[in-house]
Amino acid sequence: MYDRFDRNINYLRISVTDRCNLRCSYCMPEEGIQLLRHSDILSFSEITSFTAAAVKYGVTKVRITGGEPLVRKGITALVRMISDISGIEDLSMTTNGVLLKEFAVELKSAGLQRVNISLDTIDPEKFRAITRTGDISQVFEGIKAAVNAGLLPVKINCVIKESKKEPEAMEVTRFCQDNNLEIRYIRQMDLVTGHFSPVDGGTGGDCQSCNRLRLTANGKLKPCLFSDIELDIRELGFEKALMKSVELKPECGSKNETGKFYNIGG
């Protein structure tokens, strides 16, 4: 699918839940969120059929995200259903890593190719402060399990304030060098004020080359993270939502006053 600005839209990011087992300060309020009703959350068969439609129209790259995707019940079965769609060349997941030790082997055998794991510091106290509840040793174990299971390349998503030379980020950089992990630095964004910049080491945040569509856990297809535009796949039907979303994809993001990271999936 080509949009009005001749960008080849071939990348679908799917948020499979708005729930999370952490409360990162830049993503969720401490008290938690008003959770989506179960009936509003897309079923596995809706997610899979929608993905198959997107693949039919040229999507080749799919990422599963959240909230925390590993807290969605039956996630391995969903990964298997998606990986069975022929035409997907790259199937990945973004996770906070907390539950990866438990899931890495089964995710790999279900067809997941690789993971991005979020890690902004290697200091246990700072990690707890950022995530408000997290135990960093679980993430370290999750990273090891992902490498051992062959979910490669394992990439680390490191959120920074301004620069990758900040002390926390430098420590994460060293940790990645020592453990043969790739790293991408994501500047902390603000959806409401429209504060964003390209991801260092990754492909996000560069409007000119943006090839993404995002599906929220409750079935809204979003052509741009920094826009309020969304198309309801249940109301419109899958193909029409896809066509409209590509047609309305803005040349460049501005701001998003209605969405949240935990709902859209970053």
Q: Which residues bind ligand SAM (CB under 6 A)?
A: 20, 26-27, 65-66, 68, 94-96, 118, 157, 159, 186, 188-189, 261-262, 265-266
18 makes contact with ligand SF4 (CB under 6 A): no
Here the tokens at position 208 are: 């000119």
What stretches of the chain adopt beta strand conformation (E)? 11-15, 61-65, 90-95, 114-118, 155-160, 182-187, 212-215, 220-222, 231-232
17, 96, 211, 245: which one binds ligand SF4 (CB under 6 A):
96
Contact 242, 212 (CB under 8 A): no
The side-by-side arrangement of strands in the sheet containing 114-118 is 182-187, 155-160, 114-118, 90-95, 61-65, 11-15, 212-215, 220-222, 231-232
Interacting partner of 65 out of ligand SAM, ligand SF4, none (Cβ under 5 to 8 A depending on kind) = ligand SAM
20 makes contact with ligand SF4 (CB under 6 A): yes
Here the tokens at position 128 are: 């707890």
Gap between the Cα atoms of 214 and 265, Å rounded: 8
Here the tokens at position 160 are: 């920074």
213 makes contact with ligand SF4 (CB under 6 A): no
CA-based torsion, 208, 213, 216, 218: positive or negative:
positive
Which CB atom, from 44 or from 261, has the smaller least distance to ligand SF4? 261
| Choices 53-61, 62-70, 79-87, 214-222; region in contact with ligand SF4 by CB under 6 A | 62-70
142 makes contact with ligand SF4 (CB under 6 A): no
Which CB atom, from 1 or from 27, has the smaller least distance to ligand SAM? 27
Interacting partner of 28 out of ligand SAM, ligand SF4, none (Cβ under 5 to 8 A depending on kind) = ligand SF4
**Applying CB under 6 A, which residues contact ligand SF4?**
20, 22-24, 27-28, 66-68, 96, 118, 261-262
